[in-house]
Structure 1
């Protein structure tokens, strides 16, 4: 499947039924389009099975609650719908996007309690998020935007509005020839990339930012568990910018990114070393097990 995302063959699950890809539309006065009242999940299917599917569906419900709305489909119903989409499109290895939002209704201001909540699930074939960076190591810019305080946003929801500064940061990074950007948080600590969590290696031990103001990714949690199972020391802590110079390896984790080694962040260089490659290979085996 290729081409613009609004002009493809296939089927999308929308509000309880499969519709033709090109007919999966919403009204221009949809509340989410104006006020970012939407939450979503990015998932990958391997050999026809979505990795950690139920955890993603549960998090979708959690995120909706953080934005003060309730999805009118249960986790079990969402699970069945995701499988229906994969089967209908004949996909085995694919990306799956579930999105819930406040639609068009009686309200068209900041408040939207009377508007219906809608749900859609799409799927498409999508290769490596960072291209050949999975082998060579991604090149990252350092973003000027910072992840905000959890007192200002529902930072643990996977909500569309939280990605505005991520889009700005990634566009700036791509203009410089980078794959992505690393962001600091509102206190100045290392936080994450625009759509992936970040890990560092120093002297055989792993350091990763404490997710107290950004999403604790499902892939991040999986990789932390893998490392601990291997008796690798993992430090989940606040990391200062001046520590970047002392780290030897680095990688990103996320459903789209999977595990991608990093070769450069700003002026800091990292080896695409044995641990980074091993974690990437082990994750690949795990998701296809």
Structure 2
């Protein structure tokens, strides 16, 4: 597969479609130096982006949280995504919408005079965790913790917040793991590096309170699905020692979809019936 900078196709940038290889920014782009960037990861199934409007709304909200109001409405963002899929002939794809502070008059921490730019790209992308989606992912336990909400806008899907996630995933992969589970600043179970986490015990589901992590769109979807199934869902603080009592575990996210977890550190989990049912029902839902 060619690198992401060297492919055929079109990318939407600042209101128009451009050739994939021409979708470039200047080296003094503010986001490259100060992480003034927000993004969305979305999946298109059979020609329809799942929860597309919700993603577009969150992109704009993330921009607001970074004091970076996007110059495009939800309707305009929706049209951009549709144009990209059509131009590239894609019906099943991963869609990445991105907004950032560009190069301009400012080249310091402050950047009010720099333009806010936006792009949308799409490509075919299989299982985020490869065959782990079937047999269960193996997770390391990260040394880095999700920060205190008083230090970051944790409700924003902002590029800068993923720095420790990249470092944690690299460390996990070096140990032969698919990903890493992170604790929050208090020491409670938080999430994986790019996915929310759920646990199953005696037919009931437990997941961290999203007060220091991104409340994922897939997370919210799965909680609704479980409640419709009559399954009790507990949003609680989960201590490290609680992992020993859980029987099943799974991750949720646009890229991860529903991925079962077989191991976290020294703790093991079965890929059980409830996890498989949630995964199956989610597959049906996104393709409905």
TM-score past 0.5 threshold:
yes
Counterpart of 1:174 in structure 2 is: 173
- Offset from partner CA, 1:136-163 (integer Å, 9 cap, x none): 0000000000000000000110000000
Rounded to whole Å, the distance in 1 between the matches of 2:49 and 2:261 is: 26
In structure 1, the residue corresponding to 2:199 is in which secondary structure?
A: strand
In structure 1, the residue corresponding to 2:138 is in which secondary structure?
A: strand
Q: State the shift of 1:12 in Å.
A: 0.1
Counterpart of 2:245 in structure 1 is: 246
Counterpart of 1:132 in structure 2 is: 131
Rounded to whole Å, the distance in 2 between the matches of 1:128 and 1:5 is: 17
In structure 2, the residue corresponding to 1:154 is in which secondary structure?
A: coil
Counterpart of 1:67 in structure 2 is: 66
Q: How many residues align?
A: 288
In structure 2, the residue corresponding to 1:127 is in which secondary structure?
A: coil
Alignment map for 1:148-159 (pairs within 5 Å): 148-159=147-158
Q: State the shift of 1:69 in Å.
A: 1.1
Is 1:229 aligned to residue 228 of structure 2? yes
Counterpart of 1:96 in structure 2 is: 95
Rounded to whole Å, the distance in 1 between the matches of 2:185 and 2:69 is: 30
Counterpart of 2:265 in structure 1 is: 266
In structure 1, the residue corresponding to 2:142 is in which secondary structure?
A: strand
- Offset from partner CA, 1:103-161 (integer Å, 9 cap, x none): 00000000000000000000000000000011100000000000000000001100000
Rounded to whole Å, the distance in 1 between the matches of 2:146 and 2:123 is: 29
Rounded to whole Å, the distance in 1 between the matches of 2:281 and 2:130 is: 19
Counterpart of 1:121 in structure 2 is: 120
Is 1:50 aligned to residue 49 of structure 2? yes
Counterpart of 1:86 in structure 2 is: 85
Rounded to whole Å, the distance in 2 between the matches of 1:69 and 1:126 is: 29
Counterpart of 2:191 in structure 1 is: 192
Q: State the shift of 1:189 in Å.
A: 0.2
- Offset from partner CA, 1:19-77 (integer Å, 9 cap, x none): 00000000000000000000000000000100000000000000000000111111000
Counterpart of 2:16 in structure 1 is: 17
In structure 2, the residue corresponding to 1:261 is in which secondary structure?
A: strand
Counterpart of 2:110 in structure 1 is: 111
Rounded to whole Å, the distance in 2 between the matches of 1:230 and 1:186 is: 33
Q: State the shift of 1:3 in Å.
A: 1.2
- Offset from partner CA, 1:201-254 (integer Å, 9 cap, x none): 000000000000110000000000000001100000110000000000000000
Rounded to whole Å, the distance in 2 between the matches of 1:215 and 1:32 is: 21
Counterpart of 1:145 in structure 2 is: 144
Which structure 1 segments of 5+ residues have no match? none
Counterpart of 1:283 in structure 2 is: 282
Rounded to whole Å, the distance in 1 between the matches of 2:2 and 2:153 is: 34
In structure 2, the residue corresponding to 1:32 is in which secondary structure?
A: helix
Which structure 2 segments of 5+ residues have no match? none
In structure 2, the residue corresponding to 1:281 is in which secondary structure?
A: helix
In structure 1, the residue corresponding to 2:145 is in which secondary structure?
A: strand
Rounded to whole Å, the distance in 1 between the matches of 2:68 and 2:125 is: 30
In structure 1, the residue corresponding to 2:4 is in which secondary structure?
A: coil
